[in-house]
Amino acid sequence: MASQTNKPEGKEVAKGEGKSKSKKGIKNPFLYVGTILLLVIVIIAFVFIPSAGSTRSSIPTFGSWNGKPIQYKQDSYFANQVAQINEYLRQQGLPEENFQMYAYQVWRIAFQSTAIRTALIDTVTRSGFRVTEKGVDEAMTQLEQFQEDGKFSIDKYNKTSKATLLALRNSTKEDLYVRRYYEDMYSISPSTAEIQFVANMAKPQRTIAYTSISMADFPDTEVLAWGQKNSELFRTIGVSRITITSSESDAKKILKQVQDNKLSFEDAAKSHSKDSYADQGGDAGSVIYYAFADSFTNKDDAAKVAALKKDEVSDVYKISDKAWSFFKINAELAEPDFTNAATISEVRSYISEKEKGTIESWAIAKANSVITSTDANGFKKIVQNAKLPFNEAGPMYVNLDTPTFYAYGQQIPLLQNYWSNSDPALADAEKSESFMTEVFSLPKGTVSKPQVVGDYVVVFYVKDEKTASDDDVAMTKFAYPYFHQQALDTETRNTVLKSKNFKDDFNKAFLSLYNTGATSSKKTETTTTTTVKEPEKK
């Protein structure tokens, strides 16, 4: 059954489904696994690349696998992947004016697909497997472009140019290596016992009665108390800054000119600084101290700058791997005003982002103080007396993180979704291992401990339980081999793209082509079916 999902690269060769079938869809399984939504993007920009230069040196290397370069060349697998995506999306009716907007994503997908294919071929080759010339001959006779009335046409073959035949022969041989990889991988099919085990996960079903406390209700009094206890974080300081990205020595040279009054701080910022404050003469305005300190690689350096007096200029400090800054104090460090609503709002944002445990602890403590019953009796009354919401949900089953797979043109849940709930308090329930464990380990009628579920703390008791029939889980048994195969595909993809043997220079190469292509495209517009426009700068 596992073989019924998306076919691997290379399998088409033996079945007469050669590259010319791109008009019927994309045959690379990695374009499906976990990235189907990216198929709503396309590339028409960069049609200039094959004609941008006649020498191979004009085409940069996008990366490599085990030292083997991955390049975009006419009629290469990389180029064919881009073309297949393009043709697929043309058939989906994507407006042509949207093409170049998504150039980066499409090229990125095609590059990664090529890298994975390169890795698979290398892996199979190093295993000792070899494709014979006879095997390639047989596979070539199955290619669609050589078929006539369902049979191989020697006439069509002879009318094909030698260059095209050579390219087809090379790609067909590579396809056979890739096919061998997938034949071996897909032979690792799940056992009957494994399939039954997964299906049985959906059998125990439970309904809960519950209440919830939203972390958004964390009171201003608690925010104020925390802010006052950590007031040093919310002090403000007025600064101007100059950022240099060439070298630390260059930054010190510019600082020396400012210190010797050969160049004003403002003029130095406008002429040398490489940050967003340069046009304002370096003026960054009033900055909250914790945000100011976060911009340094060493927080102690931030304290040294903050200790300076008004109009003093700091030393040069490293703020990132390739950036150094020095600062001018426009307003000395000032204590926060906790009577100001904006300050309270800033403290709340800080806690929510960096100290969420503080809010969780408050919500858990509130739940423990309110929910005093240890069984179902009186739970509803206690909740209502505390003016908390009382709801029911279920039947739910063990479905951690809602695993899905892609088949038949849609994303399908492995475990069928018997339970749906519009309450935001349970929106993240199936992503919480502790919550799901508590639901299915508590005895019926027992009140749970407070559970953190997303941005809520939930307390519940198990109201009812039942066991699903074999018919109810039949779809899961049917679907698991599909899910298993796709999991293998995903693991292969991740193994290659995270391997130390994979060198990724895509961004550098893409930007290089993009910059040179904007000029080259103007020369080739009349020879292509689609004009290339320079993308809007954002």
Picking from 443, 433, 448, the residue whose alpha carbon sits closest to that of residue 464 is 443
Strand partners, 323: 320
Rounded Cα distance, 131 and 180, in Å: 10
* pLDDT, position 320: 87
Rounded Cα distance, 238 and 280, in Å: 14
- Alpha carbon dihedral 331, 332, 336, 341, in 10-degree steps, equals 0
Tell me the domain boundaries of the chain: 13-189+488-527, 204-217+355-467, 236-334
**Equal CATH topology for 13-189+488-527 and 236-334:** no
* pLDDT, position 441: 92
Coil, helix or strand for 485?
A: helix
CATH for 236-334 is 3.10.50.40
Q: What is the largest CA-CA distance in the chain?
A: 88
**What is the tens place of the pLDDT at every residue in 9-31?**
333 333 333 333 333 333 333 33
* pLDDT, position 253: 95
DSSP 167-212: HHHHHHHHHHHHHHHHHHHHT-PPPHHHHHHHHHTTSEEEEEEEEE
Rounded Cα distance, 338 and 416, in Å: 51
Q: Starting from the edge strand earliest in sequence, which strands make up the sheet with 456-467, in order?
A: 391-396, 204-214, 456-467, 451-453
| Integer CA distances (angstroms), 156 to 19, 29, 141, 159, 422, in order | 16, 30, 11, 5, 61
* pLDDT, position 32: 34
From the number of C-beta atoms within 10 Å of its C-beta (0-12, 13-18, 19+), residue 133 rates as exposed
pLDDT tens digits in sequence order for the chain, 538 residues long: 333 333 333 333 333 333 333 333 333 333 333 333 333 333 333 333 333 333 444 567 999 999 999 988 877 899 888 888 777 777 777 665 555 567 788 888 899 999 999 999 999 999 999 999 999 999 999 999 899 988 999 999 999 999 888 888 998 999 999 999 988 888 888 889 998 888 888 888 899 999 999 999 999 999 999 999 999 999 999 999 999 999 999 999 999 999 999 999 999 999 999 988 999 999 999 999 999 999 899 989 999 999 999 999 999 999 988 899 999 999 999 999 999 999 999 999 999 999 999 999 999 999 998 888 777 888 888 998 899 999 999 888 887 777 877 777 777 778 776 667 789 999 888 888 999 999 999 999 989 999 999 999 999 999 999 988 888 888 888 888 888 888 888 899 999 999 999 999 998 888 877 665 444 443 333 222 222 233 333 3
Cβ pair 72, 59 in contact under 8 A: yes
**What is the tens place of the pLDDT at every residue in 183-236?**
888 888 888 999 888 888 888 889 999 999 999 999 999 999 999 999 999 999
- Which one-letter amino acid corresponds to residue 186? Y
Of the candidate CATH numbers 2.60.40, 3.10.50, 1.20.1530, 3.60.110, the domain formed by 204-217+355-467 belongs to 3.10.50
* pLDDT, position 101: 63
Please state the pTM of the whole predicted model. Answer: 0.64
The class of domain 13-189+488-527 in CATH terms is mainly alpha
* pLDDT, position 97: 59
- Which one-letter amino acid corresponds to residue 200? N
| Integer CA distances (angstroms), 34 to 180, 427, 429, in order | 23, 21, 22
